[in-house]
Amino acid sequence: MITEQRNPNSTDIDLKSTAEIVQIFHEEDRKAVEAVTAVSDAIVQAVESVVAAFRRGGRLFYVGAGTSGRLGVMDASECQPTFSTAPEMVQGIIAGGDVALRRAVEGEEDKSERGAQAIREQQLTPKDVLVGIASSGRTPYVLGALKEAYAIGVTTIFLSCVPPATELKEFVTHFITPIVGPEVITGSTRLKAGTATKLVLNMLTTVSMVKMGKVYNNLMVDVHASNAKLVERSIRIVQAVTGVEAAIAEATLAQAAGRAKVAIVMLSKAMNANDAIALLEKHRGFLRPILAEGRDV
């Protein structure tokens, strides 16, 4: 496997200076970015599948083991504070359960039936999308989950850092395969493979949320203001869009229960929170067409 091959660029790395080792990492990390760029068309297709699922009331699931599983759980968990998604809209499944987020749970990734069981427990339906993540392209837990999901009628996407095996096409709808090459430390796929995986997951959720109206311009107008930093960000977002002073933005946000998008509509259209919510619902949560009425944006 490519992920298990030795990298000639890092031969005798233990004899090199710290500066030389850092330079090797820079050179190899660039390859991860280039590999992701090379699969842009596959990422576009996957994003469109995710958006279609969201629009029909479906959910996005990630499933993985080890680093792959942790990256999936991390990306899923960030959607709620960033975009105010419902907890069930984007979910991460990791072999070994939540305890595996902090320490290895030996052997779980080798059990395909456990992956299938996880899919049954989460009650996936044909409305949903499942992204299986396995750098090596062969993790039994992930393959078991993909097979089970495909049998149910779920759209399945496989993200790996090796060319897809022919037999996987029997239960995978779409492939995303950034070929990053051998790792700096042989077999340590938390490195380039992990970087490539994170880049792809960033796009799968973020671009999908943009297409669902959760971003206006380049502002996270659906941010869930759950801490002081995010409250301050919400104030700045409202100011940036409406041009009001900070005190007015803060007061309007209070009336809008902390929802920046609602506060923006309230200020832009001179209406109360309930009417602003109703107007947003009419436009399926998209802010731009509302602001476009009566002025250029």
Which tens digit of pLDDT belongs to each residue from 58-116?
999 999 999 999 999 999 999 999 999 999 999 999 999 988 888 877 788 889 999 99
- CA atoms within a 13 Å half-sphere pointing along the CA-CB vector of 140: 8
Instruction: Give the residue-averaged pLDDT of 38-64.
Output: 98
- In percent, how much of the chain has pLDDT > 90? 91
- Rounded distance between C-alpha atoms, residue 75 and residue 162, angstroms: 22
Whether residue 131 has pLDDT greater than 90: yes
> Active site residue: 20, 34, 106, 109, which one?
109
Strand arrangement, sheet containing 155-159: 90-94, 60-64, 129-133, 155-159, 174-176
Of 184, 211, 238, which residue sits at a domain end?
Answer: 211
Asked if residue 220 is part of any domain, the answer here is: no
Asked if residue 221 is part of any domain, the answer here is: no
Here the CATH number for the domain that contains residue 274 is: 1.10.8.1080
Whether residue 291 has pLDDT greater than 90: yes
Token pair of 56, please? 């029909």
296: confidence class by pLDDT, cuts 50, 70, 90: very low
109 labelled catalytic: yes
Q: Which residues contact 117 (CB under 8 A, 6 or more apart)?
A: none
| Domains held by the chain: number | 2
- Each residue of 175-191: pLDDT tens digit? 999 999 999 999 999 99
Q: Same domain for 190 and 150?
A: yes
Whether residue 272 has pLDDT greater than 60: yes
Q: Which of 19-28, 47-56, 93-102, 266-275 has the lowest average pLDDT?
A: 93-102
Residue 90: enclosing H or E segment and its boundaries? strand 90-94
Instruction: Give the residue-averaged pLDDT of 113-127.
Output: 96
Please report, for residues 93, 201, 252, the alpha-carbon distance to residue 122 in angstroms, rounded to integers and kept in the order given: 9, 21, 39
The pLDDT of residue 297 is: 38
Q: Same domain for 154 and 285?
A: no
28 labelled catalytic: no
CA angle 128, 130, 134 (to 5 degrees): 175
Q: Same domain for 169 and 286?
A: no
Please report, for residues 59, 228, 247, 254, 260, the alpha-carbon distance to residue 250 in angstroms, rounded to integers and kept in the order given: 33, 12, 5, 6, 10
Here the CATH number for the domain that contains residue 65 is: 3.40.50.10490
253: confidence class by pLDDT, cuts 50, 70, 90: very high
What is the span of the domain harbouring residue 40?
2-211
The pLDDT of residue 180 is: 97
Structural Rg of the chain based on CA atoms? 22
Instruction: Give the residue-averaged pLDDT of 26-45.
Output: 98
Q: Same domain for 251 and 205?
A: no
CA angle 78, 83, 85 (to 5 degrees): 85
The pLDDT of residue 295 is: 54
The pLDDT of residue 106 is: 72
> Active site residue: 34, 48, 78, 250, which one?
78
Please report, for residues 76, 91, 237, 276, the alpha-carbon distance to residue 230 in angstroms, rounded to integers and kept in the order given: 18, 22, 10, 21
The pLDDT of residue 104 is: 77
Q: Is 91 helix (H, G, I), strand (E, B) or coil?
A: strand
Whole-prediction pTM value?
A: 0.92
Of 182, 211, 240, which residue sits at a domain end?
Answer: 211
Q: Same domain for 196 and 108?
A: yes
The pLDDT of residue 294 is: 58
